[in-house]
């Protein structure tokens, strides 16, 4: 099924004693006035992991291979696959120079991550296998789904630094820890609520219709996969630093088929605060902004965690469901 | 002269400078003319830079948005003290092995972002085809777009607000309240005391045919006055402030 209508929405992620997205220093990413935010990548990654685990084709995700070290030919090292290795592996075919740019684009669109988020596929060389291979195609696909930076909208967030003990000692003679095990740090936020806004614009693929054999545009199947991932992927993803992070709220505003309405950064109309023990997402301003646009809207669906999150959605004409 | 006025803003923006392409990517302080035309092209559905090979179109002189919209005149006012937005370098990793040829396959990206940029933008039809101008005004006034316009990166959607048509009149005062292009001697700028400020940035003004490199000009934002014979062309006023169109 082809999806033609546009969707705007919001994804709320809570982080409890967790670090949803750190910068190079290990602290949560911030802007100059210390507003904490998470990148679009931090949100997309758990989605891609979820699709991968569920058996869908995902192109842009790290996968490893064993290769010979360049410095010492005898030594084997574990390293991420390069572009051609990943391409051959995922699509089960040999890369050869006769593959046209249209063939490659068709393969790329067959993966769920590129169908949703787009791709930047650039020319590259691979020498790790027997023959030296070269990609000459540059393909840039602007994804139908675009996600913003998600700012933490909770004002009482504290950043905590905790010492953690490593099980090993540092054998370096100059080290202070040479006779004991070393100490590391783990940095978390006690409680943060990241609010992302996103858009789904199937028109981004209009240019490819008729160019690629059998390609008909953005599909309902891909959208449904995105929609499910937007509701549960972060909760499902449990690495050390993200184990306290969970999906709390997801809002999907479906426009009518021909609507070209532009709604940017819906997150600026959202407020997050505490109401007794629950987290309150206040969408009443958003409802005001949306109200004059009723003509253009087909349906609005709201999903939230019914146990920990309360939503004040004001006059927003939406159906309310559990996020799980 | 009729002009389309709107406020362009967002929490973050990054208009990459092409002259540094390693370690750190820097941004221009303001949206420049080429980026602004690209954003307007997205609104009315013109295509951008793309792989001519894939579309079998052969080499084109310009991307579609530029070919169509370059006759438009624009004027930009940065709504911030002294015309300077705060910036921070953000860091992220791209650890899929095929992002780069880094050893270990991990590409580290450092990119400078503008924070809370906010501009008042004026557009003037000038030599733009009337049907395109009407379409652009219609889409902007009704808050519609074909592609989602963004501020330099597609995860920074542009907020477009307060869109309206205003009447401007030809003017020739010595003080300009918008950005303007000026290649003259900066020492001839005068006044503005006691809080004189002068913001200067060399940024793109147009594209080179076929190769689509940027051509640059010196953008100035100041409260100083200019010598009369150095005033740029296309100055218009709304009765309160004077804007330079380029």
Q: Looking at the predicted structure, is the pLDDT value of residue A163 above 60?
A: yes
Which tens digit of pLDDT belongs to each residue from B81-96? 999 999 999 988 776 6
Confidence of residue A102 (pLDDT cuts 50, 70, 90): confident
CATH numbers and ranges of domains, chain B: 2-244 (3.30.70.2660)
- Mean pLDDT computed over A133-150: 87
Question: Rounded mean pLDDT of A86-113?
Answer: 89
Q: What residues contact B136, with CB distance under 8 A and at least 6 apart?
A: B4, B40, B43, B44, B123
pLDDT at A242 (0 to 100) = 82
Residue A174 lies in a domain: no
A52-74 pLDDT, tens per residue? 999 999 999 888 888 877 777 78
pLDDT at B198: 93
B96 or A103: which leads in pLDDT: A103
Q: Which residue(s) pair with B199 in the sheet?
A: B221
Q: Of all residues in chain A, what percent carry a pLDDT higher than 70?
A: 95
Instruction: Identify the pLDDT of residue A199.
Output: 96
Among B157, B162, B163, the residue to mutate for chain A (most A Cβ within 10 A): B157
Q: What is the pLDDT of residue A211?
A: 86
Q: Do A264 and B157 touch (CB under 8 A)?
A: yes
A179-183, A232-236, B74-78: least confidently modelled range: A179-183
pLDDT at residue A130 greater than cutoff 60: no
Contact assessment for residue B140 and residue B6, using Cβ atoms and an 8 Å cutoff = yes
Domain that includes residue A144, residue range: 7-163+185-322
pLDDT band at A171 (very low <50, low <70, confident <90, very high): confident
Dist. CA A192–CA A36, nearest whole Å: 9
Bond into B137 cis (ω within 30): no
Checking if the pLDDT of A293 tops 60, the result is yes
Q: Could you tell me the pLDDT band of residue B27, with boundaries at 50, 70 and 90?
A: very high
The pLDDT of residue A131 is 60
Query: Is the predicted pLDDT of residue B143 greater than 90, yes or no?
Result: yes
In a domain, A175, yes or no: no
The answer to whether the CB atoms of A101 and B54 lie below 8 A apart is: yes
Neighbours of B78 (CB within 10 A): 21
Task: With respect to residue A170, please indicate whether it lies within any of the assigned structural domains.
Answer: no
Alpha-carbon gap: B225 to the closest alpha carbon of chain A (Å)? 33
The distance of B138 to chain A (nearest Cα, Å) reads 12
What's the whole-number mean pLDDT along residues A80-91?
87
Asked whether residue A169 is assigned to any structural domain, the reply reads no
ipTM for the complex shown: 0.82
Q: Using the structure block, give the residue that is written with the tokens 């699709």.
A: A51
Nearest-by-CA chain B residue for A44: B155
Q: Chain A interface, mutation test: which of B6, B54, B111, most A Cβ atoms within 10 Å?
A: B54
Cβ pair A138:B51 closer than 8 A: yes
pLDDT mean across residues, chain B:
91
What's the rounded Cα separation, in Å, for the pair A243 and B122? 48
Please give the Cα distance from B119 to A205 (Å, whole number).
30
Torsion of CA A155, A156, A161, A164, to 10 degrees: -120
pLDDT in tens, A308-317: 999 999 899 9
What is the spatial distance between Cα B116 and Cα A139, in angstroms, rounded to a whole number? 32
User: How many Å lie between the alpha carbon of A266 and the closest alpha carbon of chain B?
Assistant: 10
Chain A nearest-CA distance from B123, in A, is 20
B42, closest residue in chain A (CA to CA): A204
The Cα–Cα gap between A323 and B14 comes to 34
Question: Is a pLDDT exceeding 60 seen at residue A129?
Answer: no
Interval A190-222: pLDDT, tens: 999 999 999 999 999 988 888 888 899 999 999
pLDDT value at position A218? 96
Q: What Rg do the C-alpha atoms of chain B give, in angstroms?
A: 19
In eight-state DSSP terms, residue A107 is H
**Per-residue pLDDT, B52:** 66
Q: How far apart are CA A263 and CA A32, in angstroms?
A: 26
Mutate to test the interface with A, among B98, B102, B144 (most CBs of A within 10 A): B98
Q: pTM for the whole thing? A: 0.89
Q: Is B144 on the interface with A (CB under 8 A)?
A: yes
| B13 contacts: CB under 8 Å, gap ≥ 6 | B27, B31, B113, B114, B117, B151, B152, B153, B156
- Reported as a single tens digit per residue, the pLDDT across A1-47 is 899 999 999 999 999 999 999 988 889 999 999 999 999 999 999 99
CB contact B158 to A (< 8 Å): yes
Q: How many domains does chain A have?
A: 1
């Amino acid at each position: 099924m082809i999806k033609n209508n546009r969707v705007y929405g919001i994804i709320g992620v809570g982080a409890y004693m967790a670090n949803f997205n750190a910068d190079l220093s290990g602290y949560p990413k911030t802007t100059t006035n210390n507003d904490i935010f998470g990148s679009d990548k931090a949100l997309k990654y758990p989605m891609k992991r979820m699709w991968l685990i569920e058996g869908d084709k995902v192109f842009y995700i790290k996968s490893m291979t064993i290769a010979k070290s360049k410095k010492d030919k005898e030594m084997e090292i574990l390293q991420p696959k390069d572009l051609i290795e990943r391409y051959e592996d995922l699509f089960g075919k040999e890369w050869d120079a006769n593959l046209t740019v249209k063939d490659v684009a068709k393969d790329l669109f067959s993966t769920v991550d590129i169908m949703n988020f787009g791709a930047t596929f650039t020319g590259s060389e691979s020498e790790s296998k027997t023959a030296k291979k070269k990609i000459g195609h540059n393909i840039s696909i602007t994804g139908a789904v675009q996600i913003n930076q998600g700012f933490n909208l909770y004002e009482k967030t504290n950043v905590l630094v905790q010492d953690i003990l490593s099980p090993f000692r540092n054998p370096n003679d100059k080290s202070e820890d040479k006779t004991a095990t070393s100490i590391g740090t783990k940095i978390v936020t006690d409680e943060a609520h990241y609010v992302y806004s996103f858009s789904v614009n199937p028109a981004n693929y209009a240019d490819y219709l008729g160019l690629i054999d059998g390609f008909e545009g953005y599909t309902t199947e891909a959208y449904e996969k995105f929609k499910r991932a937007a509701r549960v992927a972060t909760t499902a993803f449990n690495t050390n630093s993200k184990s306290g992070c969970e999906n709390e709220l997801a809002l999907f505003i479906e426009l009518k088929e021909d609507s070209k309405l532009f709604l940017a950064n819906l997150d600026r109309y959202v407020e997050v605060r505490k109401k007794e023990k629950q987290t309150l997402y206040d969408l009443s301003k958003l409802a005001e902004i949306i109200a004059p646009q009723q003509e253009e809207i087909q349906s609005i669906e709201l999903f939230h965690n019914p146990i920990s999150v309360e939503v004040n959605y004001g006059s927003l004409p939406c159906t309310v469901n559990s996020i799980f | 002269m009729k002009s389309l006025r709107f406020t362009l803003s967002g929490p973050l923006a990054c208009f990459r400078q092409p002259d540094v392409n390693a370690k750190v990517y820097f941004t221009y302080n303001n949206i420049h003319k080429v980026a602004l035309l690209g954003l307007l092209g997205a609104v009315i559905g013109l295509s951008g830079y793309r792989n001519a090979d894939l579309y079998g179109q052969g080499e084109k002189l310009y991307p579609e948005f530029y070919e169509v919209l370059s006759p438009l005149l624009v004027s930009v006012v940065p709504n911030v003290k002294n015309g300077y937005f705060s910036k921070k370098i953000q860091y992220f990793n791209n650890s899929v092995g095929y992002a780069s040829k880094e050893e270990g396959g991990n590409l580290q990206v450092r990119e400078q972002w503008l924070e809370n940029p906010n501009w008042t933008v004026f557009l003037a039809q000038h030599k733009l085809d009337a049907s395109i101008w009407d379409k652009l005004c219609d889409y902007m006034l009704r808050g519609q777009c074909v592609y989602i316009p963004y501020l330099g990166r597609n995860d920074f959607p542009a907020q477009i607000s307060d869109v309206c048509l205003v009447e401007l009149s030809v003017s020739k005062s010595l003080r300009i309240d918008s950005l303007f292009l000026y290649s003259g001697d900066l020492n001839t700028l005068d006044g503005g005391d006691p809080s004189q400020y002068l913001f200067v940035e060399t940024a793109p003004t147009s594209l080179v045919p076929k190769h689509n490199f940027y051509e640059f000009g010196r953008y100035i934002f100041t409260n100083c006055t200019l010598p009369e014979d150095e005033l740029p062309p296309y100055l218009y006023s709304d009765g309160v402030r004077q804007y330079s169109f380029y």
